[in-house]
Amino acid sequence: MPVSPPVCDFGWKAVDFILPSTEGPCLGLEDIRGPKGTLIMFICNHCPYVLAVLDRIIRDARDLQDLGIGIAAISSNDANSYPADGFEKMKEMAEARTFPFPYLYDESQAVARTYGAACTPDFFGFDADLGLQYRGRLDASRKQSGPADLRRDLYEAMRQVALTGKGPEEQIPSMGCSIKWKAA
C-alpha cells in the first residue's frame, strides 16, 4: 500500500519577519502570534482563487480569532508586473473588505521564499509554540466559491490546533495562482 507524506512539514518552526502593514506600522511574527496558534495566509488582490473565497477567509479568520488564533495575510506578488497587488491597492482592499487581520506587504518576496509559499491562497497554521500543524486548503472551492455547506477545512484544522495543539494528519493542499515572482 503506498504511503503519502503529510501536506505540511509538521513541527517546522515559523520564521520571524517584519513587514509593512496596511494598518500602519510594520509588524512581526510576535505581534501576530496568538495564545492558541497562529495562521499566516499568503493571498493577493487579483487572484481569482482568493477573490472567490475572500468572504470565507474573512469569516474563518474572525471565528478563529475568537478561539485564540493570531492571524495575518501577506501579499508577496511582484507589484511591478501586477499593479493590482501593490501596497496602495492592498490598503484599499483591506479597508473596503474590513479585514479583521493585518495585511502585510512582502515587497522583497523574502518571507514567501522562506516559508516556501507556492500559491495564493496558501495557508500556514502553527501551534502555540509556532510549530507548523496545517498546510492545507480553506475548503473545496476553486476558482468559484463552492456551496455554502462545504466543510471548512482550514477552520476545523485550526480549531483542532487551538484545542489540542495538533493539526489533522490528513490534509488536502490548497490550490490557486502561483506567487508572481520578480525576474531574477
CA 11 – CA 131 distance, rounded (Å): 4
CA 128 – CA 7 distance, rounded (Å): 20
pLDDT tens string 4-17: 334 689 999 999 99
Name the pLDDT band for 88 (thresholds 50, 70, 90): very high
pLDDT tens string 118-141: 999 999 999 999 999 999 999 988
CA 58 – CA 100 distance, rounded (Å): 7
Q: Could you give the 3-state DSSP secondary structure of residue 13?
A: strand
**Which sequence spans correspond to the domains of the chain?**
18-178
**CATH entry, 18-178, from 3.40.30.10, 3.30.420.610, 3.40.190.10, 3.40.50.300:** 3.40.30.10
